[in-house]
Structure 1
Amino acid sequence: MRIIPIAQESPRRRPFEDRPKRGALLDALPPLSLYIHVPWCVRKCPYCDFNSHQQIGEIPEADYLEALAADLEQTLPLIWGRQIHTIFIGGGTPSLLSGEAIDRLLAMVRSYLSLWPDAEITLEANPGAVEANRFKSYAASGINRVSLGIQSFHDKHLKSLGRVHDASEANHAIELALKNFKRVNLDLMFGLPGQTITEAADDARQALAFGTEHLSMYQLTIEPNTVFAKYPPITPDDDIVIDMELTLEQLASDAGLGRYEVSAFAKTGALARHNVNYWEFGDYLGIGPGAHGKLSFADRIERFAKLRQPESWIKQAKLRDNSHLAEHRKLSPEELPFEFMLNALRLREGVDVALYTERTGQHLDSIRGKLLHAMDKGLLSLNPGRLQATPLGWRFLNDLQSLFL
């Protein structure tokens, strides 16, 4: 993985080698990704806690694109000289934007930023907001990967989730995506209200039958400040959900998709590069309402968040005085271990121990006690060269991650 040197790279240090405990001091900057948030959707799903807003009438594409450009301009001084490895256009429902809007958006990004020639550019799409001509336009604009929010192929479950599409529309959307894009991900959910193991397995089989390179399978969780939190549905008990998860993993494996992250399955060479950069504690610039970002500098790591309400974000971003920022702060040395482990331990193979120092600026010895405690509990691998959850640690990942708070 290519990194941008700040100063002459020092020799890779060994775990637990003596080094003063201090805040972040990085020898090199990590890869940089770009996240672009599209906040609008046809209807807010009852389980969704993302920054999405039901849009009545036409989406204000011109105002949105102007504000995006202003948002990006105000961040440029922080990332001069850095290249963008991946772009992810998420939401909300980005596929509500016209082909012309996506073309203008990517042209704007290219005019401001340096993209890797083979940059992965992903767009999220809702099967209920998909058109053949629009997909063709997206591909012509430079989108080279699409992520479809299928969730289920059973109409009764789609209805319980408040989705705006049905099973036939899901199948049609997948067929359109495969005609226009070589790289396609399908999102599924399991542990749905009233769902059986047989039904969850049937969803997986139908998804796998399309032969896409990547599949994301998430357990439904009840998040605060959602309709489901206020009116909780009856979902399968924990034992059934565990059986579902094991069944889905086996079906994916039989189809040639390995589970490389908690919710991600891919064919060889088809990992979602944008998401892997998150999990390896890389940097990402977030633009758009409610977008978050994390940027590393030689002596610190900072987090950013933008105003959530689309109208407020558009108005303030255009002022170009950084008033569109909802948060901008430096991460403290005490926060970095948890921030790193929260991401890295989601990867089934974990990460090389050297990555901890490379990405946080802290020596591994500064968390030695927590590492040994996790190993003693059987949650962290004893492999001295990797930071990797054991099978037990992966099963109780929240418990393992919390040890680094």
Structure 2
Amino acid sequence: MRTPIPTSLYIHIPWCIKKCPYCDFNSHEINGSLPEENYINALIEDFKHDISLFKPRLIDTIFIGGGTPSLFKGESYAKLFAELQKLVTFSDDIEITLEANPATVELIYLAEYCKLGINRLSLGVQSFNDNLLKKIGRIHSSSEALAAIKAAKNAGFTNINIDLMYGIPEQTLQDGIKDIEIALNLPITHLSWYQFTIEKNTYFSKYPPVSMPEDIAENLEKLAFKLLKNANFKRYEISAFARENALAKHNMNYWTFGDYFGIGAGAHGKLTDPNTKKIFRTQKTRLPKSYLNQEAPKLIETKILSSQDLIFEYMLNATRLEGEIPFSLFKERTFLDIALLNKALVKAVKKNLLKLTTNGFIVTDLGRRFTNNLQMEFLT
């Protein structure tokens, strides 16, 4: 009997206090009062519609992202979870992650989240340098970030991630190393460490700051990787480092091409019909005002992925991972024959971007350095 494809749920909360100049996510500054109750009701209706199309299934992980999900009260999430569990079953060891802005969390609210079953907190720290935080438009300070991490631990969270960026405008190598050193002395279990990039349709794309020189960024990476390894933070994905048993299960499901429902304004999903072996991409209406309109459909696109779509999307995710990627996983998640990868695999191996093993492949150091080039090998 075929093993069911693991399924996650992504919930998007689209509002924030202030839009960061580098942010290209579907986030919108609060204008007036927050329509919290109406939005929770809309999420419930959204999920009901998805379930009517793609059938109930066991939910292994939930990720509440944004925007700033910590703007919503615990009672709102309590109502949402109660209604969701009337429609689907949560696994016994479900991982539920909530993203939070250090400026919007307090001990009392964190304790509420924890009691609800939210068992993983992800804090958008970005840096512990106040000057650099101002440069990238963050509304919190270093002291608020440290206080938020302490409050999370005191509230009962034992699984805490922080996001940090490097290559921030005017950041020095020493600044970047100091951020890592501070992080390693905190009660966190996971670190997401991203390189600062200028994305399209952002404030910084119109008024680009001077980024860190590439040679300094590469030096910083080498030094930081060594520090993290020595502190028993294992790199298991391009930007993800975890202590033992603290890998982000939700993100691992993305990277191993599992299924996920996506509800909320602008949310995307990827869902498999095991009977027809068709794999769908779903997309919800982007603007919060339109999403809240009860008369308008929330699901604006359902696309069946072609074989070429599946090959590229699978490899786009799988090549982010460290270690061996088994060939068997490709067939399990795409229903395609591994032979369809042969031509691109051979080319990638010849360019020393991949190394073949008996049962799969591993991204080489060169492939990791030029991940985009590696992924493009599977586009055509």
- 1:73 paired residue number: 48
Alignment of 1:194-343 (within 5 A): 194-298=170-274, 299-315=277-293, 318-319=294-295, 323-343=297-317
- 1:21 paired residue number: none
Is structure 2 residue 172 aligned with structure 1 residue 172? no
- 1:395 paired residue number: 369
Alignment of 1:110-189 (within 5 A): 110-180=85-155, 181-189=157-165
Partner of 1:346, secondary structure, is coil
- 1:23 paired residue number: none
Partner of 1:113, secondary structure, is coil
Residue of 328, 335, 348 corresponding to 1:361:
335
Contact 2:100 2:123 in 1 (8 A): yes
TM-score w.r.t. length of structure 2: 0.97
Amino acid at match of 2:249: R
- 1:55 paired residue number: 30
Residue of 344, 353, 362 corresponding to 1:370:
344
Query: Aligned partners of 1:117 and 1:397: how far apart in 2?
Result: 36
State the identity as a percent: 47
- 1:351 paired residue number: 325
Amino acid at match of 2:234: G
Query: Aligned partners of 2:280 and 2:287: how far apart in 1?
Result: 23
Query: Aligned partners of 2:25 and 2:4: how far apart in 1?
Result: 29
1:117 CA displacement: 1.0
The answer to which structure, 1 or 2, has the higher relative contact order (CA under 8 A, 6+ apart) is: 1
Contact 1:106 1:142 in 2 (8 A): no
**Number of matched pairs:** 376
Partner of 1:303, secondary structure, is strand
Query: Aligned partners of 2:244 and 2:158: how far apart in 1?
Result: 14
Partner of 1:302, secondary structure, is strand
Query: Aligned partners of 1:395 and 1:385: how far apart in 2?
Result: 23
Partner of 2:354, secondary structure, is coil
Runs of 4+ in structure 1 deviating by more than 6 angstroms, as ranges, are: none
1:127 CA displacement: 0.3
1:111 CA displacement: 2.1
Query: Aligned partners of 1:36 and 1:72: how far apart in 2?
Result: 10
Partner of 2:356, secondary structure, is coil
Query: Aligned partners of 2:27 and 2:109: how far apart in 1?
Result: 21
- 1:20 paired residue number: none
1:246 CA displacement: 1.4
Query: Aligned partners of 2:218 and 2:347: how far apart in 1?
Result: 26
Range that drifts further, 157-166 or 238-247 = 238-247
Partner of 2:175, secondary structure, is helix
Query: Aligned partners of 1:282 and 1:341: how far apart in 2?
Result: 13
1:387 CA displacement: 2.7
Contact 1:345 1:387 in 2 (8 A): no
- 1:404 paired residue number: 378
Contact 1:29 1:297 in 2 (8 A): no
TM-score w.r.t. length of structure 1: 0.91
Amino acid at match of 1:135: L
1:81 CA displacement: 4.3
Contact 2:367 2:374 in 1 (8 A): yes
Range that drifts further, 49-58 or 271-280 = 49-58
Deviations 1:69-92 (A, max 9, x none): 110110112343410000000000
Alignment of 1:97-108 (within 5 A): 97-108=72-83
Runs of 5+ unmatched residues, structure 2:
none
Deviations 1:220-271 (A, max 9, x none): 0110000111100011111111111112111111111010100000011110
Query: Aligned partners of 2:284 and 2:263: how far apart in 1?
Result: 7
Query: Aligned partners of 2:135 and 2:151: how far apart in 1?
Result: 25
Task: Please provide the CA RMSD for this pair.
Answer: 1.1
Contact 1:293 1:303 in 2 (8 A): yes
1:388 CA displacement: 2.0
Partner of 1:388, secondary structure, is strand
Deviations 1:289-346 (A, max 9, x none): 000000011321000010110010111xx34x7x222321100111111100000010
Partner of 2:122, secondary structure, is strand
